[in-house]
Structure 1
Amino acid sequence: MEQEPELIARTADELVGDLNKQQSEAVQYRGAALLIGAGAGSGKTRVLTRRIAWILSQFGAWPSQILAITFTNKAAAEMRERLTALIGPVAQRMWVSTFHSACVRILRRDGKALGLKSGFSIYDSADSERLVKIIATEFNVDVKRYTPRSILGRISDYKNQLIGWRVQLAAYAPDFKPGSRNYRISKFDNVEELYAIIYAEYEHRLAMANAVDFDDLIVRTVELLRDHPDVAEYYHHKFRYILVDEYQDTNHAQYVLVRELGGVDSSEAPQPTAVAAGRQGPAWITVVGDSDQSIYAFRGADIRNIQDFEQDFPDAKTILLEQNYRSTQTILDAANAVIAHNEGRKPKKLWTAVGKGEPIVGYAADNAQQEAVWVASEIARLHAEEGIAYSDMAIMYRANAQSRSLEEALINAGLPYQLIGGTKFYERREVKDALAYLQAILNPADDVNLRRILNVPKRGLGARAEAIVLEYARERGSSFFDALMHMEQIEGMPTRTAKGLAAFRDLMASLSAFARANINKPSEIVAEVLSKSGLLEELQKSVDPQDQSRVENLSQLQSTAAEYEQKTPDATLGGFLETTALVADSDQLPDENEDSGKVTMMTLHTAKGLEYPVVFLTGLEQGTFPHSRSLEDTSELAEERRLAYVGITRAKRRLYVTRAAVRAQWGQANDMLPSQFLDEIPDELIDWKRREAGSERMRAGWGGDDEFGGWEEDDFLSGPVFGGGSYGSGSSYGSGRSGSASGGWGSAAPRSGSSSRGSSYGSGSGYGSSSRYGSYGRHGSGSASSSNRSGKVSTRHVSPKSAPASALHKDNGLNIADFAVGDHITHDQYGLGKVVEVQDKGRNSVITVDFGTDGVKRLMLRVAPIEKL
């Protein structure tokens, strides 16, 4: 019998002796609800692990009573390693995992109460999109107008809000019955009807396939805990201490899940006393997060979860961690200055004992290509002259589209780099094909994966063969697998098709038998699938050079399975497939102490939680970063500012901020204003190697006394923001284990049962002669670009002498002191509006006005064509 690993006893001084006052207080707090407001780089992982050790050693809890939730596998692995070093091997027996991994374990154990069978499939986004496309095509939906990705996005929104398909169907399409054959959506009065119908059918098909998607892992677990009191009671008794990292990134469903697991809403027992220490009543809940780093609203994250924690838990204690152990004070001062412009946040000011450090370096390039070349040259200089490792440097940007020019510059300079967030390993075609075989072996009812591999590699079973089997399945309300197992009963099937289908069925039966015999050796199952299916042979025979890298990817898949076996005592095929399904972007990154020998490139969203000695923050222009969609929406702009805060605080020793005066979008070169985030960083913190682009210096030369020198009056009087000009318009940047493989592939298998807006300058920061950048505009000196009919970018040069005189020095006479929130105004273009925000910036004062159906607009008061009512 295996001996239970012992817990390493730790004294109080060992656990808190090297912590600062606030960290120590957070570790020792004895109470039912604790919010640790952990600023960037403030040691939150250390505090979390020490608190877990404190609960075990000082509160007398058992390791099995603790549930620690993180957002990435990488973070979970790091926390497990730290806990193992702190409390010994017993840490490996604790539940330290992501939300999704924890839910998989719960559903594997108790999902049968919801009708989920053992070995259920977990669909990733590609699988889900494929299923939605199948449904939409069958229902006669125009998939170019209503793309599977957009439909799936809406379904995901419903699930994140815990809105079930039955609710949507009852509201918008009560006559539709999921599973209806030959259903066609010819027309609909409300697009919600379309979403409701496809949502209902999508859930029906998932149930038939014994599958769940990523969102379902949370949703179905909440359903399980709400609808099955016996299951809920088991987990309420099991988990007495729940700790959640990155709480600001939770969505509504995850918020409810935490409360359901903790029994916060279901228990009538009083809150536990300090003596009981989590043994009675609801679980004790500790959440760690930073509202200033909430950047995933587009994924459904709800910042109110952390902002309202004290309302949700009236007796909650809040402790702020403000001492930063990562960055220099200069970098922190920049981050503090930027985030301070967000309203409604709890005051928090990061500080460090490290010292002031070097100034931030700024560079204004003429265009994106010049920006990239300068970044590459600076990286080369830092490596050659200062000995900084390539792996200690990172380039970050707002959108993946910006990586192209940066990649080209690095390649031309001969610099090694790795791009994070491109096509993920497990989403590459050949890897998806191999995984589809494994999923179909484990769960034959999985129609999406089974249909994917029917003719992969090509075996003469094209669309017609698939349609014959599918029609038979639809007529009987059964799965594709069931129809395949009874293909002899399908009338009128061509002999050649029947022969091909029989061979495929025999292949899958053989692979399934091998999997059952070697269920604890996933790497051998992978090798058998690659060999017998013909996947590997087809690629090895190919003369296409790219196919050689695909062979290497399949080799890597087998190596990954072998690595999983070595690390997992109770390894199974189902367990291996779970690990592949739950991989995140950031899990591709090398470990913290591993020297990859490469510069890292990634989006700012991917960079969250990471740190580098040197960071290049690129594309700091209005319409690029902040994103064009945010410039007329104050809540979106606040999130963009939080993203800037995240980007700045990734840097440990040196931060570079760069921008381009011209950036190409949709085949047209657009003049770009500096990001308002640059204006929010105190000037004395930035050492500008090049403050203005060449064209901007030229414009500043002839702008005269005009504050916005070179801008035409019409630029401000015709467009939406400040009553005027749009910039960059058209931009659109925008686990428990399955015990065995299903044996369904035997020949005697039993029959189964049944748009983007144009960007506009709207910061109100005032980029004129009073701004450190000088004056610039869209017209006049320098180069202005347009797109000709062939789609190529052309550039026209305009003489400074021919530039029209700007009339912006003319003031409409309105005074910001005369305006207040709640006032009503009328605008020449938008009509009646209500003032929702007033910003006194002197001559460049701004008001934010809600025009109802025309949206919320930010207007520069002195040039806006408005009248106060």
Structure 2
Amino acid sequence: MVVRNAHNDVTEWDGEESGVEQEPELIARTADELVGDLNKQQSEAVQYRGAALLIGAGAGSGKTRVLTRRIAWILSQFGAWPSQILAITFTNKAAAEMRERLTALIGPVAQRMWVSTFHSACVRILRRDGKALGLKSGFSIYDSADSERLVKIIATEFNVDVKRYTPRSILGRISDYKNQLIGWRAQLAAYAPDFKPGSRNYRISKFDNVEELYAIIYAEYEHRLAMANAVDFDDLIVRTVELLRDHPDVADYYRHKFRYILVDEYQDTNHAQYVLIRELAGVDAGETPAPTATAAGRQGPAWVTVVGDSDQSIYAFRGADIRNIQDFEEDFPNAKTILLEQNYRSTQTILDAANAVISHNEGRKPKKLWTAVGKGEPIVGYAADNAQQEAVWVASEIARLHAEDGVAYSDMAIMYRANAQSRSLEEALINAGLPYQLIGGTKFYERKEIKDALAYLQAILNPADDVNLRRILNVPKRGLGARAESIVLEYARERGTSFFDALMHMEQIEDMPTRTAKGLKAFRDLMASMSAFARANINKPSDIVAEVLAKSGLLEELQKSVDPQDQSRVENLSQLQSTAAEYEQNTPDATLGGFLETTALVADSDQLPNGNEDSGKVTMMTLHTAKGLEYPVVFLTGLEQGTFPHSRSLEDTAELSEERRLAYVGITRAKRRLYITRAAVRAQWGQANEMLPSQFLEEIPDELIDWKRRETGSERMRTGWGDGDEFGGWDDEDDFSSGPTFGTASYGSYGSSHGSAYGSGSTGRWGSAAHRSNGSRSGSTYGSGRSSGTYGSSSRYGSHSSGTRGGRISTRHVTPKSGGTSMPVSSLQKDNGLNIGDFSIGDYVTHDQYGLGKVVDLQDKGRNSVITIDFGSDGVKRLMLRVAPIEKL
């Protein structure tokens, strides 16, 4: 249907939008209603009239409000139709929030607008027009598990060593190609021109270049996706770009339809997404941009608004290209940038810390967050002897905040650089009896029983989908193992057809065992029966799910099981049916295909709790997962060189810059209170390493941090403080009222002030001989003092290696001082050179896992001597001395 808007522009509406009489009414908003409560920069961004706008939205600066208000402004002040707007973000949750806010602003018409993720928008385009690329509308969408399974099948058939070249690593390389829009044909022409996709009995016996291996598997992978009428996640973007580039009529339709394109989180876009936006907007179509004051997006390329923060670009490992946002003004004609610097989330102290850290990144556009909220409380710092002590202190502080200050558990979050750090933190929370939720475990749609059920549904909808059909051939077990599968598969390969087609013609397969034939026929009849039911109830996905769970035997097998874990799997399948019912209720034109699409497009972050929900639990997650979230109280843990920043970044300027942006993200997640912690010793790859303080700590102004414990026990011992003090240098102001005990004393909770404890006895910021200031503050060093490598713009971090910025800065293995050996103390060697005669009851030692301890008993048994040490909260440990990872202090 064709309709006209206030400018008398002709607009073609999609089928679901056709019929003006059925369209919800657009609520008109006055200019004051839309910008009256915004600050100056926000208001300017909402009202800007021009072809290209970059809104540089700092953390917590109200970007979603600005983006939704701008959409409402375009509709009410520019006179655009809702169908002319395409708003894109990265997660379903963000899209739902944007749609909800728009509904409040402009009414129910917002529910009919294209407000979606990149992938959801591309699915809609490919469902409608993918036939031009050979895609049937019912194509399957493979998630990473499906794609890995297909790559493994191909690699195994091609005689590739899947232990050396894992399916995940191969798929990662293929994903890199796709994100850069490098097609399989180009790779094949460059590295394996003789290979023909679909070749039978092909074997890779040797290859001169690993790129040849990747090129061959890439080509075969794409060939089999096409045969299965399937696409993977990357294809959703890539194939849409291909469609727009190779089919001008399709491109013209969407360029005419979408006159205003708005993209959230633009700093997270990869190259393929960048090109997609340009193709949809028609920026490279050779048209002259519309005059700023009059046309308002009605002529020439569409008007493009992007919102993002280059300081929060942290997904390079997923292919995100920070240049997309950094070079926006050069990439889009007549582009304007408006910075949003007023923060509505955090205190000024937190923002000052974030500004100070990120300012060390070179090449960034200056931006300084500020707030009217006030200075707030100082950042709290804590230096632990090891990861376990760090975790215990974090847990005790959470318990104190909840008990004394009334902070809800759900208002507190623990963040870390890598998932491996969560173990000690989890143990401490469990031991303290604190409720928590760990974000990043096995996701609902990745659970085996859910994948099995969805595989049945996919095979019903798209029988050509070999991966899913082969997955369920013997699930639950029905006597159709690898032999039966290979018989059908061989027949399909000989005829160049699908597994489903071979199954349909199984009677023509010669010499098939009678038992196998009987089992295959029963499976085929089962699938036919469920397919017939699905066709008759296509608009009732929940009924189809129920039918599949019952007829397939999936539910019955789990219900009969005596394994207690299977009961939770039954509950998961019940939840899948409930999810289908919920989709059905919320979607007027619900279909099985639509339901499967929603399950396929669930993003990692969509499992995160909503900010207004009180889960009653402390949240634990990686910093990458935390982006976009906020909590009143945040514990940022593991601030050591090699942990955060990650060891990989210490040799690479670009990676170090991204690590600093990750620190900026972590700091700005906190609203009222921020805690930063580090450990002197942390286990990595089964070995305990002495960790230097993170350079990010040096970059935060010292006056912003209230150190509850500035130095670790081993650092204090090295200074020689507190001579005659039986505790080896604890400060007079340290509070030993709680925490694990060492004999009659304890550690764990420390006074709020470090005050005079660091007075004239302090040597450098960290006050220890090992971390002594060398020269001016701008040249402060960490490490042995023998050599240094420069990082960032102001600090040097010494190590046993030397050199310039490119020199590797590595952590040092803790080594015993007696016996003359340089063996790492964490190595469980046959003899570490320690002698029982060198120890006495009352001696203090450090252990690379348990930290500081006191010797309470000795048993001289020669080579098998035993030393007993009290490690406070970690208990009293009896250790065989010759393998004990300890050092006498």
TM-score by length of 2: 0.81
Counterpart among 748, 771, 777 of residue 750 in structure 1: 771
What is the distance in 1 between the residues matched to 2:405 and 2:286? 61
What is the distance in 1 between the residues matched to 2:192 and 2:755? 33
How far does the alpha carbon of each residue in 1:552-585 deviate from its partner, in whole angstroms, 9 at most, with x for none? 1111111111111111111111111111111112
How far does the alpha carbon of each residue in 1:753-807 deviate from its partner, in whole angstroms, 9 at most, with x for none? 99999999899999999999999xxxxxxxxx99999999999999999999999
Are the structure 2 counterparts of residues 742 and 158 from structure 1 closer, same or farther at C-alpha, using a change threshold of 3 Å?
farther
Shift of 1:692: 1.2
Instruction: Answer yes or no: is the 8 Å Cα contact 2:816–2:886 preserved in 1.
Output: no
What is the distance in 1 between the residues matched to 2:843 and 2:767? 75
- Out of 841-850 and 533-542, give the one that drifted further: 841-850
Instruction: Answer yes or no: is the 8 Å Cα contact 2:867–2:881 preserved in 1.
Output: yes
Are the structure 2 counterparts of residues 367 and 713 from structure 1 closer, same or farther at C-alpha, using a change threshold of 3 Å?
closer
Instruction: Answer yes or no: is the 8 Å Cα contact 1:619–1:625 preserved in 2.
Output: yes
Are the structure 2 counterparts of residues 750 and 17 from structure 1 closer, same or farther at C-alpha, using a change threshold of 3 Å?
closer
Instruction: Answer yes or no: is the 8 Å Cα contact 1:710–1:805 preserved in 2.
Output: no
Are the structure 2 counterparts of residues 194 and 792 from structure 1 closer, same or farther at C-alpha, using a change threshold of 3 Å?
closer
What is the distance in 2 between the residues matched to 1:181 and 1:578? 33
Shift of 1:403: 1.1
- Out of 84-93 and 2-11, give the one that drifted further: 2-11
2:580 is aligned with 1:561 = yes
Shift of 1:126: 0.3
Instruction: Answer yes or no: is the 8 Å Cα contact 1:339–1:642 preserved in 2.
Output: yes
How far does the alpha carbon of each residue in 1:78-130 deviate from its partner, in whole angstroms, 9 at most, with x for none? 00000000010011111000000000000000000000012100000000000
What is the distance in 1 between the residues matched to 2:113 and 2:500? 39
- Out of 21-30 and 267-276, give the one that drifted further: 267-276
What is the distance in 2 between the residues matched to 1:359 and 1:601? 23
What is the distance in 2 between the residues matched to 1:95 and 1:738? 62
Are the structure 2 counterparts of residues 393 and 867 from structure 1 closer, same or farther at C-alpha, using a change threshold of 3 Å?
closer
Shift of 1:390: 0.9
Instruction: Answer yes or no: is the 8 Å Cα contact 2:772–2:782 preserved in 1.
Output: no
Look up the SS of the partner of 1:714 in the other structure: coil
How far does the alpha carbon of each residue in 1:347-383 deviate from its partner, in whole angstroms, 9 at most, with x for none? 0000000000001111111111111111111111111
What is the distance in 1 between the residues matched to 2:593 and 2:765? 15
What is the distance in 1 between the residues matched to 2:409 and 2:127? 43
What is the distance in 2 between the residues matched to 1:631 and 1:462? 49
Shift of 1:666: 1.4
How far does the alpha carbon of each residue in 1:402-436 deviate from its partner, in whole angstroms, 9 at most, with x for none? 11111111112111111111111100111100110
Shift of 1:271: 3.1
Shift of 1:744: 72
Shift of 1:272: 3.7
Look up the SS of the partner of 2:245 in the other structure: helix
TM-score by length of 1: 0.82
Instruction: Answer yes or no: is the 8 Å Cα contact 2:383–2:677 preserved in 1.
Output: yes
How far does the alpha carbon of each residue in 1:186-243 deviate from its partner, in whole angstroms, 9 at most, with x for none? 0000000000000000000000000000000000000000000000000000000000
Look up the SS of the partner of 1:664 in the other structure: strand
Counterpart among 797, 809, 828 of residue 793 in structure 1: 809
- Out of 44-53 and 758-767, give the one that drifted further: 758-767
Name 2:111's counterpart in structure 1.
92
The gaps in structure 2 that reach 5 residues or longer are 1-19
What is the distance in 2 between the residues matched to 1:842 and 1:258? 74
Instruction: Answer yes or no: is the 8 Å Cα contact 1:398–1:603 preserved in 2.
Output: yes
What is the distance in 2 between the residues matched to 1:294 and 1:821? 54
Instruction: Answer yes or no: is the 8 Å Cα contact 1:574–1:739 preserved in 2.
Output: no
How far does the alpha carbon of each residue in 1:816-844 deviate from its partner, in whole angstroms, 9 at most, with x for none? 99999999999999999999999999999
Instruction: Answer yes or no: is the 8 Å Cα contact 1:670–1:728 preserved in 2.
Output: no
Instruction: Answer yes or no: is the 8 Å Cα contact 2:347–2:672 preserved in 1.
Output: yes
What is the distance in 2 between the residues matched to 1:522 and 1:723? 65
Q: How many percent identity over aligned positions?
A: 91
What is the distance in 2 between the residues matched to 1:352 and 1:233? 45
Are the structure 2 counterparts of residues 536 and 645 from structure 1 closer, same or farther at C-alpha, using a change threshold of 3 Å?
same
Instruction: Answer yes or no: is the 8 Å Cα contact 2:735–2:747 preserved in 1.
Output: no
What is the distance in 1 between the residues matched to 2:770 and 2:497? 14
Are the structure 2 counterparts of residues 845 and 410 from structure 1 closer, same or farther at C-alpha, using a change threshold of 3 Å?
closer
Name 1:782's counterpart in structure 2.
none
What is the 5 A alignment of 1:206-217?
206-217=225-236
Shift of 1:385: 1.1
Instruction: Answer yes or no: is the 8 Å Cα contact 2:141–2:232 preserved in 1.
Output: yes
Shift of 1:658: 0.8
Look up the SS of the partner of 1:749 in the other structure: helix
Instruction: Answer yes or no: is the 8 Å Cα contact 2:132–2:243 preserved in 1.
Output: yes
How far does the alpha carbon of each residue in 1:693-724 deviate from its partner, in whole angstroms, 9 at most, with x for none? 11121123399999999999999999999999
How far does the alpha carbon of each residue in 1:319-371 deviate from its partner, in whole angstroms, 9 at most, with x for none? 00000000000000000000000000000000000000001111111111111
Look up the SS of the partner of 1:787 in the other structure: coil
Are the structure 2 counterparts of residues 164 and 57 from structure 1 closer, same or farther at C-alpha, using a change threshold of 3 Å?
same
Counterpart among 321, 326, 329 of residue 302 in structure 1: 321
Instruction: Answer yes or no: is the 8 Å Cα contact 1:161–1:253 preserved in 2.
Output: yes
- Out of 663-672 and 818-827, give the one that drifted further: 818-827
Instruction: Answer yes or no: is the 8 Å Cα contact 1:717–1:723 preserved in 2.
Output: no
How far does the alpha carbon of each residue in 1:664-711 deviate from its partner, in whole angstroms, 9 at most, with x for none? 111111111111111111111111111111112112339999999999
Are the structure 2 counterparts of residues 197 and 754 from structure 1 closer, same or farther at C-alpha, using a change threshold of 3 Å?
farther
Instruction: Answer yes or no: is the 8 Å Cα contact 2:392–2:748 preserved in 1.
Output: no
Are the structure 2 counterparts of residues 47 and 685 from structure 1 closer, same or farther at C-alpha, using a change threshold of 3 Å?
same
- Out of 272-281 and 613-622, give the one that drifted further: 272-281
Are the structure 2 counterparts of residues 796 and 614 from structure 1 closer, same or farther at C-alpha, using a change threshold of 3 Å?
closer
Are the structure 2 counterparts of residues 472 and 709 from structure 1 closer, same or farther at C-alpha, using a change threshold of 3 Å?
farther
What is the distance in 2 between the residues matched to 1:404 and 1:148? 27
- Out of 101-110 and 729-738, give the one that drifted further: 729-738
2:263 is aligned with 1:244 = yes
2:794 is aligned with 1:770 = yes
Look up the SS of the partner of 2:297 in the other structure: coil
Are the structure 2 counterparts of residues 656 and 722 from structure 1 closer, same or farther at C-alpha, using a change threshold of 3 Å?
closer
What is the distance in 2 between the residues matched to 1:180 and 1:756? 66
Shift of 1:273: 3.8
What is the distance in 1 between the residues matched to 2:852 and 2:866? 17
- Out of 589-598 and 262-271, give the one that drifted further: 262-271
How far does the alpha carbon of each residue in 1:494-526 deviate from its partner, in whole angstroms, 9 at most, with x for none? 111111111111111111111111111111111
Instruction: Answer yes or no: is the 8 Å Cα contact 1:169–1:196 preserved in 2.
Output: yes
Look up the SS of the partner of 1:735 in the other structure: helix
Could you say which structure has the larger radius of gyration? 2
How far does the alpha carbon of each residue in 1:9-41 deviate from its partner, in whole angstroms, 9 at most, with x for none? 100000000000000000000000000000000
RCO higher in structure (CA 8 A, sep ≥6): 1
Are the structure 2 counterparts of residues 710 and 489 from structure 1 closer, same or farther at C-alpha, using a change threshold of 3 Å?
farther
- Out of 114-123 and 819-828, give the one that drifted further: 819-828
Instruction: Answer yes or no: is the 8 Å Cα contact 1:728–1:759 preserved in 2.
Output: no
Are the structure 2 counterparts of residues 519 and 333 from structure 1 closer, same or farther at C-alpha, using a change threshold of 3 Å?
same
Look up the SS of the partner of 1:736 in the other structure: helix
Instruction: Answer yes or no: is the 8 Å Cα contact 1:717–1:865 preserved in 2.
Output: no
What is the distance in 2 between the residues matched to 1:290 and 1:546? 44
Are the structure 2 counterparts of residues 263 and 754 from structure 1 closer, same or farther at C-alpha, using a change threshold of 3 Å?
farther
Are the structure 2 counterparts of residues 148 and 839 from structure 1 closer, same or farther at C-alpha, using a change threshold of 3 Å?
farther
Instruction: Answer yes or no: is the 8 Å Cα contact 2:244–2:250 preserved in 1.
Output: yes
Are the structure 2 counterparts of residues 404 and 714 from structure 1 closer, same or farther at C-alpha, using a change threshold of 3 Å?
closer
Instruction: Answer yes or no: is the 8 Å Cα contact 1:399–1:733 preserved in 2.
Output: no
- Out of 217-226 and 391-400, give the one that drifted further: 391-400
Q: CA RMSD in A?
A: 17.2
Are the structure 2 counterparts of residues 3 and 467 from structure 1 closer, same or farther at C-alpha, using a change threshold of 3 Å?
same
- Out of 165-174 and 313-322, give the one that drifted further: 313-322
The gaps in structure 1 that reach 5 residues or longer are 776-784
Look up the SS of the partner of 1:647 in the other structure: helix
- Out of 1-10 and 368-377, give the one that drifted further: 1-10
Counterpart among 201, 204, 224 of residue 182 in structure 1: 201
Instruction: Answer yes or no: is the 8 Å Cα contact 2:825–2:885 preserved in 1.
Output: no
How far does the alpha carbon of each residue in 1:271-291 deviate from its partner, in whole angstroms, 9 at most, with x for none? 344211101110000000000
What is the distance in 1 between the residues matched to 2:846 and 2:29? 68
What is the distance in 2 between the residues matched to 1:79 and 1:644? 27
